Amino acid sequence: MSLASRLARIVAVIRKDMLYSSPGLILIFAVLVPLIATLVISAVVDSPVLGEPRLGLFDQGASQLPERLAERGHLTITHYEQQDALRDAVLRGDHEVGAVLPEGLDEALAEDEEPTITFYIWGESLESQREIVITSIEREARIVAGQELPIEVTILQPERQEIPPWEERLFPLVVIMVIVYGGMLIPATVLVKEKQAETLMALTATPMSLAQLLVAKGLAGMIITIVMGVVLLGINDAFGPQPALLIGVIILSALLAAEMGLVLGLFISDVVTLYAVIEAIGILLLAPALFYLFPQLPDWIARLFPSYYMLAPIIEMSLHDAVWADISGDVAVLGGLIVAITILGVWLARRMGPRG
């Protein structure tokens, strides 16, 4: 049998799996879930829930309050020329609080006249965000009024610089989902479904060998994983300093995931059992992402999980600008795991029939 005819058979089975063998599952777990998760994370990180409180200001005079608030640096301040424009912006949710500073505010404060500041409050804002804004204005107003503050607040953030922002902590979870669900679950599911429907018997009664069939199943998962991996890196602008190497590492991770999926598929004979197993071991597969989510946890524990070696090189290159020298050790372990799972897979396939 020529190489071309073998490739043609593999392509035919991949095409069949992509088009017909549970596209719903592929769409949901390997594509939709990671995409939605990425978009949700981006939206949440950029939203007022986790960002700085936003203050809209309309100053009818020339108060020093806006400048003093800006110097504090913990508010996002926008200035308006019209009171109506400020009110409309707050109504739209552009700011948690809009403040109208009356003409002669600073003088009135200095003379202890208790001037009125009008606040517009966005109804859907968090109370904590509103309190930060209003307390900050009240504090600066006291200073302008020449009052002594009863306490001096100094904010210290221990080890602040060692804890990465939320989007960086959540990104590994999305990446491992793509690898596990795309790379592993798709080959396992399509193989088990073929066994359950006994179509595997029909396929292996053709000149296509079981080995070629397993390659086709594995490639279906790998293609989805690689494409989704590149898409996610694109969305997050996280190709790192060596994009080609990064894609190479993604291919290796997808290969290991696909092999693990095929081994599962060879062991298990029905889809219900497969999903039960995936549910049971899912937390172990996703566990390395939890160590990025909670960086306080010791790194050495994450290294006990095989899926760590699928995830870590990708994350280090994409988020922390790691280069080959930084990840070569983990990639070597990844290669070792690929060899070990290949040997296990070949042994299992040979047990299934004379054509492994």
* Residue keyed to tokens 């396992």: 188
Considering the rule CB under 8 A, would residue 27 count as an interface residue with other proteins?
A: no
Would you say 243 and 322 are in contact if contact means Cβ atoms under 8 Å apart?
no
The span from the CA of 181 to the CA of 187, in Å, is 9
Considering the rule CB under 8 A, would residue 47 count as an interface residue with other proteins?
A: no
Stretch that binds other proteins, among 195-203, 241-249, 312-320, 326-334 (CB under 8 A): 195-203
Alpha helices (runs of H) in 145-270, residue ranges in sequence order:
166-177, 186-196, 199-203, 210-235, 243-267
Considering the rule CB under 8 A, would residue 205 count as an interface residue with other proteins?
A: yes
Considering the rule CB under 8 A, would residue 195 count as an interface residue with other proteins?
A: no
Which of 21, 38, 136, 307 binds other proteins (CB under 8 A)? It is 21
The span from the CA of 257 to the CA of 252, in Å, is 9
3-state SS class at 97? strand
Considering the rule CB under 8 A, would residue 3 count as an interface residue with other proteins?
A: no
By DSSP bridging, strand 97-101 and strand 54-59 are: parallel
- 5 versus 135: smaller Cβ distance to other proteins: 5
Among residues 131, 339, 160, which one has the least CA distance to residue 255? 339
Considering the rule CB under 8 A, would residue 209 count as an interface residue with other proteins?
A: yes
Residues in contact with 33: Cβ distance below 8 Å, sequence separation at least 6, in sequence order = 177, 181
- 118 versus 196: smaller Cβ distance to other proteins: 196
CB 248, min distance to other proteins, A: 31
Stretch that binds other proteins, among 169-177, 204-212, 281-289, 296-304 (CB under 8 A): 204-212
Considering only residues 68 through 97, tell me which ones interact with other proteins, judged by CB under 8 A: none
Find the largest Cα–Cα distance for the chain.
98
- 54 versus 193: smaller Cβ distance to other proteins: 193
Which of 20, 73, 112, 153 binds other proteins (CB under 8 A)? It is 20
- 9 versus 54: smaller Cβ distance to other proteins: 9
By DSSP bridging, strand 76-79 and strand 97-101 are: unpaired
Interface positions with other proteins (CB under 8 A) = 1, 5, 8-9, 12-13, 16, 20-21, 197-199, 201-209, 353-355
